[in-house]
Every structure is written in C-alpha cells, then in structure tokens.
Amino acid sequence: MLTEDADPHLTSPGVAIGTAAYMSPEQARGEELDPRTDLFSFGAVLYEMSTGKQAFSGNTTAVLHDAILNRAPTSPVRLNPELPPDLERIINKALEKDREVRFQSAAELRADLKRLKRDTSSASAVWRTAQPAAVPAARRSLARWLGIGAAAIVIVLFVVAAIRWWPSRSAPAAVRAAQTTLAVLPFANAGAGAERDYLRVALADEVATTLSYAPALAIRPMASTRKFAQADFDPQAAGRELKVADVVTGQFSQEGENLRVSLEVIDVEGNRLVWRDAVSVPAKDMIAVREQVTARVRQGLLPLLGAATSASGAATRPQNSEAYELYMRAVALPSDDEPTRQAIPMLERAVQLDPNFAPAWAALSRRYNYASNYGAQGNATYRRAEEAASRALALDPEFVEAEGLSIQYHVERGNWNLAYDEANALVRKRPENAQAHFTLAYILRYGGLNDEAIRECEAAMRLDAHERRFRSCSIPFLYAGNIDRAIEFSNLDRGSQWAQSAIYQSLLRQGRVKEAQRMTGMDFIPLIQACFERRPRAEIAKLWAGLEADEMSFPDPEPKYFDGSALVYCGLHDEGLRLLRKAVESNYCAVPAMDNDPLWDSVRKTPEFAAIRKDAMACRDHALAHVQQKNR
C-alpha cells in the first residue's frame, strides 16, 4: 500500500524494475543479466558504505540512467581521503561500465578484498582516525564489514540482489554536470635513449585518446599541445596558456629491460599534484605498455575526474607490436609535407600488419587527406583517405575523429544531406566535443548557411581555443566580411602554407593588395605571383591551363570557389566562372559568399554569373529546408 508521500512512479510499464541507483549499465539498457550485474551493484553499495554518498544519483530516472551509463562517480578518495588506495581500485573495478573488464566473479572480488585486509596493518585503525564529519556512520559501517571478513561478501551480494529488485523511494542529488577541461602534454624522455624519443608524443596521444571517450571531459587535441615537445615547460604555465583546469604530464625511462612510465595530473589553478601513478613494463612489448598506461588512466584518473568512458566506445586495441610501434612513430611526426611523406608508408605497413586497429586507419586517412590537398598527390590519394576513414569508423563507431573525417568526405563529395544528418547527430551525441561542433560548422558552410556555421565555429572555439584544424573557420567569417576574425582563425595554424594563403585571401578582399603582395611564402602560388606582377594575360592563361584538369576533377568544391575568384581577379573571367559553376554543381552553395565577395565584381552583372547565382540560391534553399525538416 502506498503511503501519502510515496512516489507513485516507482515503476512504469516497459521500464527496467529495480532500485535505479544500484542498477548496472546492462540492466539500465534492458539487456540480459548475469552474475557480474550483482558485482556492479555490490560496487555501488561498497561505494556508499565508503563515502556516505551514492555512486550514481539524479533528479530523474533519465538523468540517473545517464549517470550509470556514461559517467563515473566522484573518486571515493576525494570524498573520504582516508580510504586505502587499493579499496578505491576495487570499487572502481566493480563499477566498470563494461562487464568484460569488471570483476568476473565474486571469488575474484573476494580475493582482492582478502589481500586488502591482509595488507592493511590495522583496518579498524584507519577508520578510527579523525575524519571530516561528513561520513562517520558510513565509515564505521564499512569498518565493521571489513572486520567481519571478506567471506561476508556472500551476505552483501544477497542484500545487493534484493536492492536490485526493491524500488527506491529516495530523491538523490543531481549528478555532477560541469565539464572538465584537460590537456595532455608531451611526455619527458628521462634517459630512455634517442631511439625512444617518439614516445614523447605517442604516449601522450594514447592518454589523450583514452580520455577523449569520456563525454564529461573536453580534451585539448595533441595538435594544440605538440609544441611543448621541443622544450622544457612549466606545467602550470602551459595549462594557463591552453586554458584548462588540469594538465596531465608524464615521463618515461629505461630500467634494465623495462620501460617505466609515470603519469601526473596537476591542478592548474592551485598548482598542486592531484594524482600520480606509474607502470613498469618490458620495453620490447609496446602493446603491454599501452595497455598498462590506458588501464591506469581508466581505473584511476577517470574516476578522479568524475568521468567515465562509454562502454561501447572503447577504442580497438592493437594486436601486433611492430604495427603499433610504426603507428606511434607516425603519430609523433608533424603534419607538414615531408613528415607526411615519411608517415604514410609507416601507417600503410601498420594497417597491413594489424588491420583491426582503428586509430591507425584514422591517422592514415589524415595523412592521405593532407597529401591529396597540399602534397599534389591528387584524386587517387583522396579516395584512399575516404576508404581509410570508413575503415576506422567501421571498427570503432564511437571514434569522434574518424566520424568527423567521414562526414567531411561526404560533404566534399557533394552528399550534403547525409553529411548534415551525421554531423548534427554527432553534436547531439557529443555536445561537449569541439571537433563535433567544428564538423557541423564545416557542413553548414558548404550549404551556404553562413550564420549557422559561424555559431558552430564559435562553439568549437570556446571548447578548444588552440586546435589548428579549426583554421578553416576563417572562411565563414571571410564570407560575412569579418576579416579580423577570419585572420584570427587562420592564425590558429600560423606560419603554415594554408594560413598564408587564407590571410592573403582576406587581405585581397579588403583591398590591401600591397600587403598581400608583401606576404612571405606566397611564392608557392606562381599564378598569383604572375597576376600581381601584371604579366600578360596569355602567360597567366597558360599557367592556368596546366592546372585546370586536376582542379576540375578534384572532389572538394570549395577550392574551386576560391581559385575561380582569383582567376576572375586576374582577368580570366570565363575560366573563373567555369570553376564557380562546377563548385555550385557539386553542392557548394556559394551564397551569400558570391554576393559579398569583391573579387567577383568584374563579372557580377554578366548573365552567366546571374545563372550561377540562381542555382546557388536553390542549393542553399534545399539545404535550409533539409535542416528545418530534420529539426522539427
């Protein structure tokens, strides 16, 4: 019988029955249960006994289920600093989202608890130590439980089983909603030899990748932190420059036949150490190094940060040592022309040796994409970039970077609707991820939805103000006439060939021709140099004739817009309009860009320009209608 204050919504048709706060992820998803489910619920009880707080809470069942499925509870040691570290490890392992890496049996858990009891000189003394008043009852309760002995786990599991099926009548507090910003800095080589120097970036990249699967964290990409690999740095100063709450640092050294890797987390504001761990693994087994380091991050660092990875989002694991070492060496190389030429054969060999390792396929896709766009390797390499991204995404559907690459290739191939649907879904799934917002901005720009693209670019910038790949967000600002902001985004990749070209485009549209001419590094565009030097039209046309076939056949339509406007500026009107038409036909909806762009002024009143503009408007209207239909 319900009392007057009882919750009439304790159960609902079609909803998993049980005390929601103690449900396992598989129970919350309505999947088949097994004994490991009770071990998760036991972990939730043990957490509450240790801290005086529930591991998972929320104002509604939906919020509570989200916490169970996607978030880790606050580190028990943060709530109760006197807890033995090994007890925290046991709790965290019991609360693993993925039951395959949870305790597999009560016997395994009982053995760990027996070891804890044996290794603790006086378990009861720990609980008698003076503590904050917040959790004394819970602590005494846990002390008595430990005193009874680990065999009592059977009784506790019986209680857990009852809890699992007994409806809850409590109204737990809201879960932690704030997002934590974090940067993983390149590791220090503390005497492992020059041949291991690639691990400075490669190990940091593995840690950053592991952390990136936690929806509650905003991780600065390695492109933002790579510059710290070349010099000694102050972690606090680096953290302030990167605008993050915490920084992860590390170092590695050779100890006989072993490689010792240590990790630290530093709170930037307080400049204090908040977490430290280390592993020692045979140096010849780089896969074991990776597994040990990422396991410590998952089981130690993520709970400390109050974050959890998605159970379905664990990256595929390397299976071949040679392939993994090649991958790590390639990841450590910069993304310029020559390093890309070096990285591609390494990654091709890596995926040949270990075809099921998603990060290697994604890295290969990035290198192919760079080579096809900036290394003059053309269409065949672009197709290989698409194939590599598809392979990475098929292997790991939760891999945000692979998903972003795949979406980018869709829109560059003219598949705007599909690209928008996937980019919009990515932002809904990962609203805290800067790469997701940038990907959506990229798609909106191609659809002529410039204001919407600007909003997504600003969202990406708020989440990560240093990612160099966001440089192309300069384009919607250029189209809007906000040249200063366009240059700010271009300078995310300051000094690169791409940034030089983008800034030149901005200066030219401001009428600052002499400044554009004086820019260093513009010698890589012979046609533009010829135009600036006012060479005969026939000479400029001849230069273009050698480029036209490749330009017209390359899949990405956006370069056609910019190169077409440059040709018109240089007096090649028909050739420029031909490129503009090809861009629009490829679903690059070049409005409002072509309406505001002064480089088209000399052809603006021609019938051909008017016809192209009409098609561009239809392209944008189609994109807008699709967006409105999807967002109803």
The per-residue pLDDT for 173 is 27
Q: Which CATH number is 160's domain given?
A: 1.10.510.10
Instruction: Give start and end residues of each alpha helix (H) in 196-262.
Output: 199-212, 222-225, 235-242
Per-residue pLDDT, 3: 37
The dihedral over CA atoms of 192, 198, 199, 202, expressed in degrees to the nearest 10, equals 180
User: Quick check: is 362 in a domain?
Assistant: no
- 104-161: pLDDT as tens digits: 888 788 877 877 776 654 433 333 333 333 333 443 444 444 444 444 554 454 444 4
Place of tokens 């980018």: 408
Instruction: Answer yes or no: do 466 and 505 share one domain.
Output: yes
Tell me whether residue 384 is in a domain. no
Cα–Cα distance between 266 and 195 in angstroms, integer?
28
Tens-place pLDDT, residues 212-261: 778 778 787 666 677 777 667 788 898 888 888 899 999 999 989 999 99
DSSP string over 40-71: HHHHHHHHHHHHSS-SS--SSHHHHHHHHHH-
The model's pTM: 0.62
- Give the number of domains in the chain: 3
Examine the domain organization and report whether 143 and 108 are in the same domain: yes
Alpha-carbon gap, residue 399 to 405, rounded angstroms: 10
CB under 8 Å to 449, separation ≥6 — which residues? Answer: 620, 623, 624, 627
Q: CA torsion angle for 354, 355, 360, 362 (degrees, to 10)?
A: -170
In sequence order, which residues have a C-beta less than 8 Å from that of residue 137 and are 6 or more positions away? 52
* pLDDT on residue 370: 86
Same domain, 580 and 454: yes
Q: In which domain, by residue range, is 575 found? A: 449-625
Output the CA–CA distances (angstroms, integers) from residue 490 to 477, 507, 593, in the order listed.
Answer: 11, 12, 18
* Rounded-to-integer distance, Cα 322 and Cα 114, Å: 40
Per-residue model confidence (pLDDT) at position 162: 40
Angle subtended by helix axes 106-119 and 35-51, to nearest 10: 30
* Cα separation, 173 vs 73, whole angstroms: 13
The number of C-alpha atoms within 13 Å of 441 and in the hemisphere containing its C-beta is 25
Q: What is the pLDDT of residue 126?
A: 34
Same domain, residue pair 207 and 151 = no
Claim to verify: residue 459 and residue 504 sit in the same structural domain: yes
pLDDT of the residue at 312: 40
Whether 274 is in a domain gets the answer: yes
Nearest-angstrom CA–CA distance, 582 and 359: 35
List the structure tokens of 334: 């910069």
Query: 499: which residues sit within 8 A by CB, 6+ positions away?
Result: 471, 490, 491, 492, 493
On whether the CB atoms of residues 353 and 337 are closer than 8 A, the answer is no
| Residue type at 14 in one-letter notation | G
Torsion from C-alpha of 368, 373, 378, 382, nearest 10 degrees:
40
135, amino acid identity: V
DSSP-assigned letter for residue 250: E
Predicted confidence at residue 315, as pLDDT, reads 52
* 221 and 109 both lie in a single domain: no
The whole-angstrom separation of Cα 53 and Cα 132 is 14
Q: Is the peptide bond before 81 cis (omega within 30 degrees of 0)?
A: no
197, 152: one domain:
no
Same domain, 126 and 234: no
Residue type, 525: I
Structure tokens given for 209: 């990748």
Task: Return the residue matching tokens 């150490």.
Answer: 273
Of 165, 193, 222, the one marking the end of a domain is 165
Is 202 found in the same domain as 112? no
Q: Are residues 30 and 126 in the same domain?
A: yes
What DSSP line would sit under 91-149, residue for residue?
HHHHT-SSTTSS--SHHHHHHHHHHHHHHSTTHHHHHHS---TTSHHHHHHHHHHHHH-
- Residue ranges of the chain whose pLDDT lies below 70: 1-20, 28-31, 58-66, 118-179, 221-224, 230-231, 308-315, 375-377, 520-525
530 in any annotated domain: yes
Same domain, yes or no: 244 and 184? yes
Report the CATH number that the domain containing residue 258 is assigned in CATH. 3.40.50.10070
| Alpha helical stretches, state H, 375-433 | 378-395, 400-412, 416-429
Q: What is the pLDDT of residue 586?
A: 96
- Give dist(CA 592, CA 579) in Å, integer: 17
Within-domain flag for 540: yes
The overall average pLDDT reported for the chain is 81
Of 133, 165, 197, the one marking the end of a domain is: 165
